[in-house]
Amino acid sequence: MSGIQLPLRISMLLGLYACLLACQPRSGNDRSAAVPYYNTPTFTPVWLTDPAEVDKTITHRIADFSFRDQTGQVVTQAAVADRIHVANFFFTSCPSICPRMTSLLKTVQDSFRHEPRVKLLSFSVTPWLDSVPRLRRYADQKGVLDTRWHLLTGSRGAIYDLARQSYFAEEAIGFTRDSTEFLHTEHIILVDQQRRIRGVYNGTQPLDIDKLIADIRALLP
Q: What is the pLDDT of residues 50-75, one digit of tens each?
A: 999 999 999 999 999 999 999 999 99
| Residue pair 191/84 in contact by the 8 Å Cβ criterion | yes
Quote the percentage of the chain above a pLDDT of 90. 75
Determine the Cα–Cα distance for residues 175 and 25; give it in Å rounded to an integer.
36
Query: Among 45-49, 55-59, 68-72, 167-171, which is the least confidently predicted range?
Result: 167-171
Mean pLDDT of 122-139: 98
> Nearest 5 degrees, angle CA 31-CA 37-CA 41?
155
Query: What integer pLDDT is reported at residue 9 of this predicted model?
Result: 56
Query: What integer pLDDT is reported at residue 171 of this predicted model?
Result: 59
Which overall architecture, per CATH, does domain 8-219 show? 3-Layer(aba) Sandwich (3.40)
Q: Please tell me whether 19 is known to bind a ligand.
A: no
Phi, psi of 49 (to 5 degrees): -120, -30
Residue 25 pLDDT greater than 50, yes or no: no
Query: What integer pLDDT is reported at residue 2 of this predicted model?
Result: 45
Mean pLDDT of 32-52: 94
Q: Which residues contact 203 (CB under 8 A, 6 or more apart)?
A: 3, 88, 97, 100, 101, 104, 105, 186, 187, 188, 209
CA 166 to chain centre: 11
Q: Please tell me whether 85 is known to bind a ligand.
A: no
Determine the Cα–Cα distance for residues 22 and 19; give it in Å rounded to an integer.
5
Q: Please tell me whether 98 is known to bind a ligand.
A: yes
